[in-house]
Structure 1
Amino acid sequence: MKAQELPLRKCVACNCMKPKNELFRVVRLPEGIQLDPSYKGQGRGAYVCRNLECIALAQKKKSFNRALKCAVSDDVLNSLYMELENGSR
C-alpha cells in the first residue's frame, strides 16, 4: 500500500513545486498577515522554500505582495528569517 503523498505547492520566489511541509506558509487573515506554522489558517496563503535565498528573493521581487494581494510588512519577513534560524517546522 502506498503512503499518502503530501500535496505540492509552488514557491512564490523560485516557482519550484515542493511538498507543502518543505515550505513556509504566509497567510492573509482579517487581523493581518502572519506566518502559518499549522498550514491550516483560513485565508489567502502563499508559500516560500525553507532557505535563505528564496526568502530574500521573495522579498526583493515583492512576491508576497503580489501573491497575497496586499503589502507585507518587514515584521512578517523577519519572522520567516527567525523561523529559518530556529529550524522549526
Structure 2
Amino acid sequence: MKPRKIPMRKDLLSGTMQPKKEMIRVVKTKDGDLAIDPTGKQAGRGAYVALDPDGVKNAAKKKILESAFGIAVSAEFYDELYAYVDHQKARRELFGDKA
C-alpha cells in the first residue's frame, strides 16, 4: 500500500512549508473581517500560521497580516491569535497529534 500524501501549506510568518494539520488557518471573510478558522473550512481568503507564539509576536511588530490581507488588523486580533496559538501548541505537547 502506498503511503498517504501529507498536505503541506506555507507558513505566512516564516515562509516554510509545514503539514497542514500542524497549522492554524486565519481567514478574511467577505465582510472584510479577520477570524481564526479552527475547522479550516470557513469561506473566505485564508492563510496559514504555524504553532509558534514567538512568530505571532514578530508578525504583530512587522504587520505581516496587514500586508497579506490588505486590511488593517487590530492589536486585539494579534492578542487573540497569540492566545489561540499558544493554547493549541500546549495541547499538542500534552496530548500529541490526537488533540
TM range (shorter): 0.7 to 0.9
TM-score, normalised with respect to structure 1: 0.83
Q: Shift of residue 68 of structure 1?
A: 1.2
The range that moved more, 45-54 or 79-88, is 79-88
Conservation of the 8 A alpha-carbon contact between 1:35 and 1:80: yes
Residue 51 (structure 2) pairs with residue 50 (structure 1): yes
User: How much is the aligned-residue C-alpha RMSD, in angstroms?
Assistant: 1.8
Cα distance in 1, alignment partners of residues 20 and 58 from structure 2: 19
Higher helix share: 2
Q: Shift of residue 70 of structure 1?
A: 1.1
Which stretches in structure 1 are left out of the alignment for 5+ residues?
Answer: none
Cα distance in 2, alignment partners of residues 83 and 38 from structure 1: 13
The alignment of Structure 1 onto Structure 2 pairs a total of residues equal to 89
Q: Shift of residue 35 of structure 1?
A: 0.3
Structure showing greater Rg: 2
Which stretches in structure 2 are left out of the alignment for 5+ residues?
Answer: 92-98
**Following TM superposition, where does structure 1 have runs of at least 4 consecutive aligned residues deviating by more than 4 angstroms?**
none
After the TM superposition, which residues 8-23 of structure 1 pair with which residues of structure 2 at under 5 Å, given as runs?
Answer: 8-23=8-23
TM-score, normalised with respect to structure 2: 0.76
Cα distance in 1, alignment partners of residues 48 and 80 from structure 2: 14
